[in-house]
A and B are shown apart, each in its own frame.
Chain A
Amino acid sequence: MADKPIQGEKRVFMTGNEVVAWAALAAQADIMYGYPITPQNEIMHYWTRMAPKFGKRFLQTEDELSAGFTTLGGVLAGRRAFTATAGPGNTLMQEPMSMAEMMRIPSVVVIQQRGGPSTATVIYSQQEVTMTAYGGNGEGFRIVYSTGTHQELFDYTIKAFNTAWKYRFPTFVLGDGYQAKMRESLTIYDPQDKGMEMVKTEAFIGKEPVNGIKEPNHIRNTYNTEEELFDVLAKYMEDYLKIAPEIVEYQEFDCDDADLVVVSHGVVSRAAKGAVQELRSEGYKVGYFRPITLRPFPAEQLRAVADKTKTLLLVESAYGQMAKLVKDAIFGSTVAIENLFKPGVGITSEEVVDKVKGLL
């Protein structure tokens, strides 16, 4: 068996799907369960080539329902298990992930968003925000990281395993088809070399007896009475709200004196960043805000920005899915809201610049 997958730090140039496979290896993931769907397929392709060298496993399932539920089985067995999907596969994935919410199963799912609704395109979108953050018949007891660069894809895939196992909520890395397929540079590393410890996993079921005594565990997602369910959910909500401030991540710059702040997430934030920098260099008072966690959402932080500025320009490759999260977060604010929505289509900094100039 080979040593650690990554020795020291290494600058590499690869596709995002390859990055995810490397990150899962670096995070000491034990097993991947998956079902083919574009644009996430190469995560499986790289995993199935590399993982066996390090004693890791893979199961190709019959569909995404099965990929999700087998992943939950793997996690219940105490393994760092994960899956990856996109689009219609993400739709099916919501059933197992709602069970993960109900049973606090620390599953990790990587989503590479593609066009929607339905089969739409295999290319790109940011149209799986609502579904990833709040899908299933539940309350959105999940954690969603929206990445924008390959470095983040690597960092947050590793982090997702730790977040999931530390807080016991299903955790998602929300990428997209662009990130999946593009090549750019990043530095990969072994987390332990950087002093990052992987959070220990623990079997829910299938534990060895202790001193010859086996204490069986009974876990369920069904409750008999309304009150019984309410009590469970109230506790989950309390837990979630308590940990949310620890989990929330965001980026902002140039917001203090800004007349307008561009709000975007994921790969679109690259365009927004370039646009804000360019506009600043031309003397426009423009700021940048980007939620990294879409769930929990950096509500307080965005509210503070909304209180300072006159206009928020919401930019996303969807018809307002991030916008819903934003409006919910800043409810009561009198800040003006403008939109640049391009569902299923990439957004360039030129477009953002033009839009801002039209507004200011």
Chain B
Amino acid sequence: MTSIPQMPKSWRLETKPHKFCPGCGHGLVLKALGEAIDELGIQDKVIFGCDIGCSLLAWDFFNVDTVQTHHGRTTPVVTGVKRANPDTICIAYMGDGGGYAIGSQHLVNAAARNERITAILVNNCNYAMTGGQMAPTTLPGMKTETSPYGRDIKEAGYPTQGPEMVAAITRDGSYVARGTIANLKQLKGYFKKALENQMAGNGFSFVEALASCPTNWRTNAKDTWNFVEKEMPKYFKVGEIKNPAEKEGE
């Protein structure tokens, strides 16, 4: 059902086709998110905050209230909105640099405070907008503009395990998952659960989405897909990590 080339209702038609590079994972992530918003019927209540980096290109992507912020600062902006107007459904949309590097203190503390917001982080293993530098999520040995001989774990450490970190620092009520553009139906399901978790007032919800960046990976279609489907999940395990709804059912 997701394969038919139909746009989610919550997408903003005037700004399509969108501005992401060909083969970029953002479009797919936003498609899954758009469908989740549609299916939950929450379009009029959503506040969509987007970061700097490629995620900023989503600033006019949806027909929902949108605020484009600074690098790493989307989490506090939508936290501020949610605290001031708890009737809204707030989404902080960011990249791996925004969430795990420059804005990591915001992600950590929003999670620790169990903010009733939904953070969505697109992991494509590099800083894409700035030209493909090493990110917290760059895989060991992976070449980027600032790790031209491959990420040396002795120098740069291991890639950040974001959802695992968030799961470790949150207590009851938080929802944490890692999905991938290789399985959009599953990803959409995670988004729905994350949003429902917020709507139920349970607490912080966090979904990392593994996504492609052929422009900076310098990969062809086949290698791009292979990297997303085979290489990334070796390090970044796809699945639900924390689900308060399940816990209740136990």
Asked if the two chains touch in their complex, CB atoms less than 8 Å apart, one says: yes
* Cβ distance B250 to chain A, nearest Cβ, rounded Å: 32
- Interface pair A59/B69, CB less than 8 Å apart: no
Interface 0/1 of B61-84, CB less than 8 Å to A: 011111111100100111111111
Give which listed residue, B12, B66, B84, B105, contacts A79 with CB less than 8 A: B84
- Interface pair B80/A72, CB less than 8 Å apart: yes
- Interface pair A219/B66, CB less than 8 Å apart: yes
Considering the chains assembled together, what is the distance between the CA atoms of A75 and B64 in angstroms? 18
A218 on interface, CB distance cutoff 8 Å: yes
Chain A residues near B85 (CB-CB < 8 A): 77-79, 203, 206
Chain B residues near A74 (CB-CB < 8 A): 80-81, 83-84
A6 on interface, CB distance cutoff 8 Å: no
Considering the chains assembled together, what is the distance between the CA atoms of A222 and B51 in angstroms? 11
- Interface pair B70/A69, CB less than 8 Å apart: yes
Considering the chains assembled together, what is the distance between the CA atoms of A65 and B76 in angstroms? 8
Interfacial residues, chain B to chain A (CB-CB below 8 A) = 12, 43-45, 47, 52, 56, 59-60, 62-70, 73, 76-85, 87-88, 105-106, 108-109
A-side interface residues, number (CB < 8 Å): 40
Give which listed residue, A57, A66, A78, A206, contacts B106 with CB less than 8 A: A66
Q: A216-B63, A218-B59 are known contacts. Are A99 and B70 too (CB-CB below 8 A)?
A: yes
- Interface pair A206/B83, CB less than 8 Å apart: no
Chain A residues near B56 (CB-CB < 8 A): 220, 222
- Interface pair A61/B73, CB less than 8 Å apart: no
- Interface pair A31/B84, CB less than 8 Å apart: yes
30 contacts between A and B (CB under 8 A): A30-B84, A31-B83, A31-B84, A57-B83, A59-B80, A61-B109, A62-B108, A63-B105, A65-B73, A66-B76, A66-B106, A69-B70, A69-B77, A70-B83, A73-B77, A73-B78, A74-B81, A75-B84, A95-B73, A99-B73, A205-B81, A205-B88, A206-B81, A207-B65, A216-B62, A216-B65, A217-B65, A218-B60, A220-B56, A220-B59
Considering the chains assembled together, what is the distance between the CA atoms of A282 and B112 in angstroms? 64
- Interface pair A205/B65, CB less than 8 Å apart: yes
Q: A57-B84, A76-B81, A81-B84 are known contacts. Are A205 and B66 too (CB-CB below 8 A)?
A: yes
Closest to A102 in B: B70
Chain B residues near A78 (CB-CB < 8 A): 84-85
Give which listed residue, A57, A61, A79, A81, contacts B76 with CB less than 8 A: A61
- Interface pair A206/B65, CB less than 8 Å apart: yes
A96 on interface, CB distance cutoff 8 Å: yes
Chain B residues near A220 (CB-CB < 8 A): 56, 59-60, 66-68
Task: Decide if the interface of chain B is mainly helix, strand, loop or mixed.
Answer: helix
Chain B residues near A203 (CB-CB < 8 A): 85
Considering the chains assembled together, what is the distance between the CA atoms of A63 and B72 in angstroms? 13
- Interface pair A222/B68, CB less than 8 Å apart: yes
Give the residues from 195 to 241 in chain A that come closer than 8 angstroms, CB to CB, to chain B.
203-207, 209, 214, 216-222
Given contacts A65-B76, A74-B81, A216-B65, 16 further A-B contacts (CB under 8 A): A59-B80, A62-B105, A65-B105, A66-B79, A66-B109, A69-B80, A70-B79, A81-B80, A96-B70, A205-B66, A214-B44, A216-B62, A216-B63, A218-B65, A220-B56, A222-B59
Considering the chains assembled together, what is the distance between the CA atoms of A76 and B73 in angstroms? 14
Give which listed residue, B59, B73, B88, B108, contacts A69 with CB less than 8 A: B73
Q: A76-B67, A221-B69 are known contacts. Are A70 and B47 too (CB-CB below 8 A)?
A: no
* Cβ distance B50 to chain A, nearest Cβ, rounded Å: 9
A132 on interface, CB distance cutoff 8 Å: no
- Interface pair A221/B68, CB less than 8 Å apart: yes
Closest to B89 in A: A206
Closest to B45 in A: A206
Chain A residues near B43 (CB-CB < 8 A): 214
Interface 0/1 of A259-277, CB less than 8 Å to B: 0000000000000000000
- Interface pair B44/A73, CB less than 8 Å apart: no
* Cβ distance A305 to chain B, nearest Cβ, rounded Å: 41
Give the residues from 54 to 94 in chain A that come closer than 8 angstroms, CB to CB, to chain B.
57, 59, 61-63, 65-66, 68-79, 81
Considering the chains assembled together, what is the distance between the CA atoms of A222 and B109 in angstroms? 26
* Cβ distance B93 to chain A, nearest Cβ, rounded Å: 13
Chain B residues near A289 (CB-CB < 8 A): none
Chain B residues near A77 (CB-CB < 8 A): 80-81, 84-85, 88
Closest to B81 in A: A73
* Cβ distance B131 to chain A, nearest Cβ, rounded Å: 17
* Cβ distance B118 to chain A, nearest Cβ, rounded Å: 15
A33 on interface, CB distance cutoff 8 Å: yes
Closest to B88 in A: A206
* Cβ distance A32 to chain B, nearest Cβ, rounded Å: 10
Considering the chains assembled together, what is the distance between the CA atoms of A276 and B108 in angstroms? 54
- Interface pair A73/B76, CB less than 8 Å apart: yes
Closest to B102 in A: A65
- Interface pair A76/B80, CB less than 8 Å apart: yes
Considering the chains assembled together, what is the distance between the CA atoms of A247 and B145 in angstroms? 49
Considering the chains assembled together, what is the distance between the CA atoms of A239 and B101 in angstroms? 37
